[in-house]
Structure 1
Amino acid sequence: MYTVHTLFVEMSTGAQAATASNNSLPAQNFDFFLVLDFEATCDSATKIVPQLTGITQDKVDGKPTLQETMKIFEKWMEEQGFLDGRCSFVFVTCGDWDLKTMLPGQCSHFRIHLPQYFKTWINIKRTFQHVMGQYPKEDLMGMLKGLSITHQGRHHSGIDDCRNIANILKALAERGCIFQPTYRL
């Protein structure tokens, strides 16, 4: 079982910086940051893991398959103008697992083509290390603590984790960070 959660955050690019209402944020290289988080369980751990992620079988029964989800996501990406060059974007994850291991592994297993746009991302932990001078020991919770941000929602809930990652992204931008991809497949 797995669930996919994506939240997108718009920040000012160089062209937009002059008209941005918040001039304290530096101009960025991307128009949009797509914050992505996968939550997963496996059959052998269902007695333990759902208590961590909140994912139970009844929540995924009857939902779209990975192949269907990938098609829905591709359509959404097209509708938003992400695939025709009208805007620039990059995925943001808390670690490399989501896009280096989980999604490529699942796509390979189900013989689904992995689109090129999933092969570049920002690992917010590495960016945090660059800005703050130390790698976060407690991952998401450690970064929130290090930036004096209150955790919102339930930890290991994909959408709540995305919101918290977006808050970290914003706090790092407020500290002058100009984001660059940290990983390319």
Structure 2
Amino acid sequence: MQNKENKTAYILLIKNVPKRLQILEDFLKKLNLPAQQNIKAFGRKRALITYATETDAAKAFDILQNQQLLNKKLCVSNFIEGGIKQLQKTKSTQTNENGNESEPDMPKINKQLGLLETIYVDGNQRSTTSTTKSRKSNLSNQNYDYVVAIDFEATCWEDQAPPSWRESEIIEFPAVLINLKTGKIEAEFHKYILPIEIPKLSAFCTSLTGITQKTVESGMPLQIALTIFQEWLRKELRARNLVLPKMTKESKQSKSCALVTWTDWDFGICLAKECARKGLKKPSFFNQWIDIRAVYREWYNYRPMNFADALQHVGLTFEGREHSGIDDAKNLAALTHKMVTDGAKLSITKDLTPYQLNSNCW
């Protein structure tokens, strides 16, 4: 039963926290902090710590503002009196000047919280009078007929650094092409990759992904896999008259296709960092993608704890083995189709080369 008393909560907003909230929780236990009522993730690399009294919040603020976690200084904001209600009020229905209820500007809120990144290409600039959607470039604002869902698996270790700081190597490269009108997966790509920087997989990695040492030793170097994938993608696009974003070879009869991931990690961190370290040539179409998690959060106004929670929230069930790259990619494709069926509009959420066209994949 919920307590009906109207109690004030005092909240600290912590920035630069690791993606795994457990790391922050273990760190806080080592400090002489007042007892917290609640700790939860809030946006990208942020967390909220709730205290029952102003005194406890102020004491925690003084201790935390000079702390470092994983060699990064924690950024702590002043506590917010009645913070929970303020945050909920910001995201709930609001009243306009005429006394009528209106929906909040969710894209604007998400932009402020760092949940969605809008990219402007071909010289388009931010307009002060148009809406968020109209400010995006036409390349980001189209309807997609197909998407290619990709979910890399990479080397990992127990108690490792956050994803943006570690140097992982891709060990599974899966991709599925799904027709968003029919929901049918029409083509699959799947290769295992040989790691060369740290060839031996950790026991934690094998347990998490199900990928064995024997499997990766029979795999191929990443550069070869990228080349084979490009040929596979060219064949599948040509067979359906599809074009990717920012390709110059396009006609009125062409249908559109985009790459989708769950978070920016796969292309923005994992692939980009590995290609840079090893001097590998990365196809330019990997520079634009749709982060389905960002679109999901905005469309459903729900922040899932993980991918399985995101599926369950919309009535889907994960099929296969979690953290198997090919199964993750298939479930990501299914979720994308479900979102489009529910009316969500897909748009490019990240563009690493906003002022450049891509070479034709054909």
The aligned residue for residue 118 of structure 1 is 286
Q: Secondary structure at the match of 2:153?
A: strand
If asked which structure has higher relative contact order (CA below 8 Å, sep 6+), I would say 1
Q: Secondary structure at the match of 1:113?
A: coil
Q: Which amino acid aligns with 2:153?
A: E
The answer to whether structure 1 residue 35 and structure 2 residue 149 are counterparts is yes
The aligned residue for residue 203 of structure 2 is 47
Following TM superposition, where does structure 1 have runs of at least 4 consecutive aligned residues deviating by more than 3 angstroms?
Answer: 42-45, 82-87
Q: Conserved in 1, the CA contact under 8 Å of 2:223 and 2:281?
A: no
Tell me, which stretches of 5 or more residues in structure 2 are unaligned?
Answer: 1-141, 157-197, 353-362
Q: Which amino acid aligns with 2:337?
A: K
More displaced stretch, 81-90 vs 164-173: 81-90
- The structure with the greater share of residues assigned to helix is 1
Q: Conserved in 2, the CA contact under 8 Å of 1:41 and 1:55?
A: no
Deviations 1:9-64 (A, max 9, x none): xxxxxxxxxxxxxxxxxxx6223200000001145860212101111211111322
Identity between Structure 1 and Structure 2 (%): 32
The aligned residue for residue 276 of structure 2 is 108
Q: Which amino acid aligns with 1:159?
A: I
More displaced stretch, 77-86 vs 106-115: 77-86
The answer to whether structure 1 residue 150 and structure 2 residue 317 are counterparts is yes
RMSD: 1.8
Structure 1 counterpart of 2:216, from 51, 55, 60: 60
The aligned residue for residue 305 of structure 2 is 137
Structure 2 counterpart of 1:89, from 257, 263, 266: 257
The aligned residue for residue 7 of structure 1 is none
The aligned residue for residue 182 of structure 1 is 349
- 1:79 deviates by 1.5
Q: Conserved in 1, the CA contact under 8 Å of 2:147 and 2:259?
A: yes
TM-score relative to the length of structure 2 = 0.41
Cα distance in 1 for residues equivalent to 2:303 and 2:294: 7
Q: Which amino acid aligns with 1:162?
A: A
TM-score relative to the length of structure 1 = 0.78
Q: Secondary structure at the match of 2:317?
A: coil
Q: Conserved in 1, the CA contact under 8 Å of 2:201 and 2:213?
A: no
- 1:174 deviates by 1.4
Structure label with greater radius of gyration: 2
Cα distance in 1 for residues equivalent to 2:256 and 2:294: 21
Deviations 1:114-171 (A, max 9, x none): 2220011111111111111022222x11111111111100100011101111111111
Q: Which amino acid aligns with 1:102?
A: C
Q: Conserved in 1, the CA contact under 8 Å of 2:150 and 2:260?
A: yes
Cα distance in 1 for residues equivalent to 2:341 and 2:235: 30
